[in-house]
């Protein structure tokens, strides 16, 4: 565990806002299996290289959405048609999206220690999920994983009408949380541009779940208050 902000060393928290994908759920594995299923439907062998190419296209779309450059609908209308066009195949965006969503809704892979840390935290804190994504998919995956039992509410960007890191998204969340003192809250997530930037902009302390040992950000607005490399390290903070 690393503390970047000594001013919060002795802070007492009551309310935790946890990201889902990349923090508690293994979205990479869910995406890998779901995208591979779509490729097979169109007669494509889902090699590691093709799965990685889809992953990068999808990531680029979501990053553009987080920045506010494109509406969420554009993600679903763009990612598979663009991917298959590179293979010389024309596909229907709605059909590929439906195939992908059916598979993804049934994929719920937990990251190591996720259930254990949530059970531990629930005894002492008010827990909420903050996540960008499609509401039906996120609710389904949280239920399948068993995570939903630990959280008082789930805030999905689709329901909020805005997304992390936008201020409007956090305003939506804060309006629905009984705790009104943001000094008693902590955002926990893996994305510097989504979770950390969003939490800091909302005046909430942040904890970066840096599971893959990424380099620290050079931008001050992305520097988290805490940094951990394993979920169990949250016990050193909370």
The domains of the chain are located at 2-25+110-236, 28-105
Q: Say yes or no to pLDDT of 200 above 90.
A: yes
Cβ neighbours for 129, distance < 8 A, ≥ 6 positions apart? 17, 18, 19, 20, 138, 142, 147, 151, 153, 154, 155
Lowest model confidence (mean pLDDT) among 19-23, 52-56, 69-73, 124-128: 69-73
Closest CA to 165 of 135, 134, 130: 130
Three-state SS string across 176-190, please?
CCCCCCHHHEEEEEC
Rounded CA-CA distance 19/29 in Å is 17
User: Could you say which DSSP state residue 133 is in?
Assistant: S
2-25+110-236 against 28-105: fold identical: no
Q: Say yes or no to pLDDT of 209 above 90.
A: yes
Provide the pLDDT for residue 225: 97
Q: Which CATH number fits domain 28-105: 1.10.150.240, 3.40.1160.10, 3.40.50.720, 3.30.450.40?
A: 1.10.150.240
Look up the CATH number of domain 2-25+110-236: 3.40.50.1000
- Active-site residues, by number, are 19
Mean pLDDT value of segment 2-29? 94
Confidence of residue 94 (pLDDT cuts 50, 70, 90): very high
Q: Do the Cβ atoms of 198 and 163 come closer than 8 Å?
A: no
- Other CB atoms within a 10 A radius of the CB of residue 29 amount to 14
Q: Do the Cβ atoms of 141 and 103 come closer than 8 Å?
A: no
Q: Say yes or no to pLDDT of 10 above 90.
A: no
The pTM score is: 0.92
Rounded CA-CA distance 195/225 in Å is 12
Provide the pLDDT for residue 62: 86
Mean pLDDT value of segment 225-236? 97
Mean pLDDT for the chain? 95
Q: How many whole angstroms from its chain centre is CA 16?
A: 15
Q: Say yes or no to pLDDT of 65 above 90.
A: no
């Amino acid at each position: 565990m690393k503390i970047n902000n000594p001013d919060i060393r002795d802070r007492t928290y009551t309310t935790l806002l946890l990201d889902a994908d990349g923090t508690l759920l293994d979205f990479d594995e869910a995406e890998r299996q779901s995208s591979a299923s779509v490729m097979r439907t169109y007669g494509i062998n889902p090699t590691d290289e093709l799965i990685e190419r889809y992953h990068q296209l999808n990531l680029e779309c979501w990053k553009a959405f987080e920045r506010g450059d494109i509406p969420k609908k554009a993600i679903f209308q763009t990612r598979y048609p663009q991917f298959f066009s590179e293979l010389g195949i024309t596909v229907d965006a709605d059909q590929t999206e439906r195939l992908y969503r059916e598979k993804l809704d049934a994929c719920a892979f937990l990251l190591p220690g996720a259930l254990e840390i949530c059970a531990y935290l629930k005894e002492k804190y008010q827990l909420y999920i903050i996540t960008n994504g499609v509401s039906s998919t996120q609710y389904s995956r949280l239920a399948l994983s068993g995570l939903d039992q630990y959280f008082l509410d789930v805030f999905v960007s689709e329901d909020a009408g805005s997304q992390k890191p936008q201020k409007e998204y956090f305003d939506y969340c804060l309006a629905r949380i009984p705790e009104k003192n943001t000094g008693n809250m902590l955002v926990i997530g893996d994305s510097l541009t989504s979770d950390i930037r969003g939490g800091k902009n909302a005046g909430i302390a942040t904890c970066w779940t840096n599971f893959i040992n990424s380099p620290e950000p050079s931008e001050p607005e992305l520097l988290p208050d805490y940094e951990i490399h394993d979920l169990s390290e949250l016990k050193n903070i909370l």
